[in-house]
Amino acid sequence: MVLERATAPLHGAVLPEPTPAPGQLLVRVHACGVCRTDLHILDGELPHPKLPLVLGHQIVGTVVGEERRVGIPWLGWADGECRFCRSGRENLCDRARFTGYDLDGGYAEYTVVDERFCFALPEDYSDLEAAPLLCAGLIGYRSLRIAGNAERVGLYGFGSSAHIVAQVARHEGRRVFVFTRPGDDEGQAFARELGADWTGGSDEAPPEELDAAIIFAPVGGLVPTALRALAKGGTVVCAGIHMTDIPAFPYELLWGERVLRSVANLTRSDGEEFLALAPQVPVRTSVEAFPLEQANEGLERLRRGEVRGTAVLDVATS
């Protein structure tokens, strides 16, 4: 399924089977998770994607000619030599290339990957169940780590990433406060099933102060809202790659050593840590499967907030 230009729906096309360069693996795709980032690329909200482009950066597949199952994440390549890479921050690499953005991704039957940038996957997960771990899980995990030792964690937006983070946070003995779109009773019930201690609309104040808040919804107006819910010394983490403008807010919302920051991309060590932790929790992913040809439908359901958990393209059976 190919993106020819921003804002046009993806269309089915027959592409030549990709040829792996030295150091790359040819991978038969079994499943690929749909991420909100894919929607931002589709909508032209992120600059300079490769075009035409195959989207998709939560790829589960097997290496052609081997039985080995691999997972392919958003970070597809980093140079290993810039000041960020040399200080353990390859997620910020100046020359990083991202899967399904700079490189063709997993909305396809085959893809190639640099063998240094793919992961082994825990065996307890089916292909469909494993796909959401690769971005929703990873970015959520990195966001939670950056939130520090917060005991009371707020999650704004309860989609693909938050439904995983909530489970990890509970496993770590934290309390979880989930904010959904006002009136999203289904989303709030889903959050309580996964262990949320409190749920409400994003227009509601939590019953007590939060030590951290992670914003998954791409809505800049939630930044002052989340800061207002925070105890002194707390952190607001913006987990998305794109957000609408943040409205002006009074300095007193930041005062008291409150911290506002973003999370960008992932490092390979995030992936290794999280993929080792997920089966111990154990994280259970909730997926809604779509055949590859229905990628546009999966994207639109995500846009409308109708997916419970993660939309995943089931490529193997397409």
HEC per residue, 50-109: CCCECCCCCEEEEECCCCCEEEECCEEECCCCCCCHHHCCHHHCCCCEEECCCECCCCCC
Q: Give me the least distance between CB of 52 and Zn ion, in Å please.
A: 20
Residues constituting the chain: 318
- Interface region with Zn ion, contact rule CB under 5 A, candidates 134-142, 175-183, 201-209, 210-218: 134-142
- Residue 146 identity (one-letter amino acid): I
Number of residues that bind Zn ion (CB under 5 A): 8
Q: Does 59 bind Zn ion (CB under 5 A)?
A: no
Considering only 6, 82, 254, 264, the residue that binds Zn ion (CB under 5 A) is 82
Q: Give me the least distance between CB of 37 and Zn ion, in Å please.
A: 4
Considering only 85, 196, 214, 287, the residue that binds Zn ion (CB under 5 A) is 85
Q: Give me the least distance between CB of 36 and Zn ion, in Å please.
A: 7
Considering only 25, 32, 60, 135, the residue that binds Zn ion (CB under 5 A) is 135
- Interface region with Zn ion, contact rule CB under 5 A, candidates 131-139, 162-170, 255-263, 305-313: 131-139
Q: Give me the least distance between CB of 57 and Zn ion, in Å please.
A: 6
User: Looking at beta carbons only, is 99 or 188 nearer to Zn ion?
Assistant: 99
User: Looking at beta carbons only, is 201 or 305 nearer to Zn ion?
Assistant: 305
Structure tokens at 194: 């996964």
User: Looking at beta carbons only, is 79 or 204 nearer to Zn ion?
Assistant: 79
Q: What is the DSSP string of 148-211?
A: TT-SEEEEES-SHHHHHHHHHHHHTT-EEEEEESTT-HHHHHHHHHTT-SEEEETTS--SS-EE
Q: Give me the least distance between CB of 14 and Zn ion, in Å please.
A: 26
User: Looking at beta carbons only, is 137 or 224 nearer to Zn ion?
Assistant: 137
CA 276 to CA 283: how far, in whole Å?
11
Site for Zn ion in 20-39 (CB under 5 A): 35, 37
User: Looking at beta carbons only, is 33 or 122 nearer to Zn ion?
Assistant: 33
CA 50 to CA 282: how far, in whole Å?
36
Site for Zn ion in 177-206 (CB under 5 A): none
Distances (CA, A) of 252 to 48, 208, 228, 304: 37, 18, 9, 35
Q: What are the φ/ψ torsions at residue 277 (nearest 5 degrees)?
A: -75, -40
Q: Does 79 bind Zn ion (CB under 5 A)?
A: yes
Adjacent-strand bridge partners of 97: 77
CA 312 to CA 72: how far, in whole Å?
14
- The helix or strand, by DSSP H or E, that contains position 302, with its residue range, turns out to be helix 295-303
User: Looking at beta carbons only, is 131 or 135 nearer to Zn ion?
Assistant: 135
Which residue carries 């230009």 as its tokens? 5
Q: Give me the least distance between CB of 79 and Zn ion, in Å please.
A: 4
CA 273 to CA 306: how far, in whole Å?
30
- Interface region with Zn ion, contact rule CB under 5 A, candidates 65-73, 130-138, 159-167, 192-200: 130-138
- Interface region with Zn ion, contact rule CB under 5 A, candidates 88-96, 119-127, 155-163, 244-252: 88-96
- Interface region with Zn ion, contact rule CB under 5 A, candidates 10-18, 62-70, 128-136, 264-272: 128-136
Which spans of this chain sit near Zn ion (rule: CB under 5 A)? 35, 37, 78-79, 82, 85, 93, 135
